[in-house]
Amino acid sequence: MTVQQDNRTQENKIRLRVAISDGYALVKSMALTESLAQATPEQLMVELLDELTGSAANPRRISRLDKVRQTRAQLQAAIEQIRTTPPEQLAMSSASDSSDSALTEETPDAT
């Protein structure tokens, strides 16, 4: 196969992939447009509120707002702990010292 034939083959493969991709995108966009056309603004707002506050149908699922509140509380607690800790206690020791001590503190004794 010559270089020119190889280039044509590659171009044909690319054209086929683009055509398939365009067709798939069209089908998906039509389905999305149809589903949005059937939804009312009230339904969309209810879905958004359910997503933000958690769904009554799935009470184990944490809401986004609860997750933000939880993360904020953890961050505030960490900041307060940093503020009350002397700077010399926050300084990192050398990399080999800290990794060795972390391993010995966290792993149980093998003996």
**pLDDT per residue as tens digits for the range 7-63:** 888 898 989 989 999 999 999 999 988 888 888 888 888 887 877 776 666 666 667
Of the candidates 83, 101, 84, the residue with the CA atom closest to the CA atom of residue 92:
101
Q: Are residues 79 and 47 in the same domain?
A: yes
Contact 1, 8 (CB under 8 A): no
Decide if pLDDT at 79 tops 70: yes
The answer to whether position 108 is within a domain reads no
Q: How many domains would you assign to the chain?
A: 2
Find residue 55's DSSP bridge partners. 58
Model pTM score: 0.36
Decide if pLDDT at 109 tops 60: no
Domain with 18 in it? 1-38
